[in-house]
Amino acid sequence: MKLVEMSIVNYRQFKKADISFDDGITVLAGANNSGKTSLITLIKNVFNDEKNVYCESDIPAKNMQDWINQVYPIFERFFLGDSVIEKIDEDLVEYILPKNEEEHPICIDTTRLRVHVSYNPEKDDIKLFADYIMDLDEDMHDFFFEYYYEIKRTKFIRVISKEFEKLKKEI
């Protein structure tokens, strides 16, 4: 199995990067803080069997700041008004991540990764991907998969509820 290329969007210092891997050995070289460790960490997190470790520090700071600028007035109205923890879902989160899928959520532009993998069906063990692959062309043995981080409404509510008193004091 061969990792052919990766497209990374919004991961640490990568705003957008397309990386191709040569046959044989690929060497990562670059100056300090150029993204070598970030690339290895991302690959490890995506391909590792263990639980994926992804946190807000993996989102570029500019994306985080843009999102904060959009949602801060919503938080401010909620916490300066008659905010109670029981109303987080309907009076706060509903404006940011609406239940109605037709309404547009105010989401952070988070990490997206597109991976191109080439394999030899006679040599390579692709059991981890087999459920997702269908060879329509018997001469082509490549597949693509996409990984992205999505903010879940339930987790967002849980975090705000946990930090309710702290947020109320700070706003």
Cα atoms in the Cβ-side hemisphere of radius 13 Å centred on 131: 1
Q: In this structure, what are the phi and psi dihedrals at residue 78, rounded to the nearest 5 degrees?
A: -65, -50
pTM equals: 0.76
Burial classification of residue 38, based on how many CB atoms lie within 10 Å of its CB (0-12 exposed, 13-18 middle, 19 or more buried): middle
In sign, the C-alpha dihedral spanning 15, 19, 25, 31 is: negative
C-alpha distances in angstroms, 89 versus 46, 70, 95, 159? 31, 18, 9, 12
Segment 1-54, tens digit of pLDDT:
888 999 999 999 899 999 998 888 888 888 998 889 999 988 888 877 677 678
Question: Residue 148 corresponds to which amino acid?
Answer: Y
For 73-100, letters b (16+ CB in 10 Å) and e give ebbeebbeeebeeeebbebbbbbbbeee
Segment 111-164, tens digit of pLDDT:
999 999 888 888 888 777 777 777 677 788 888 889 888 888 999 999 999 999
Segment 84-121, tens digit of pLDDT:
999 999 999 999 999 988 898 998 888 999 999 888 88
Q: How far apart are CA 6 and CA 20, in angstroms?
A: 7
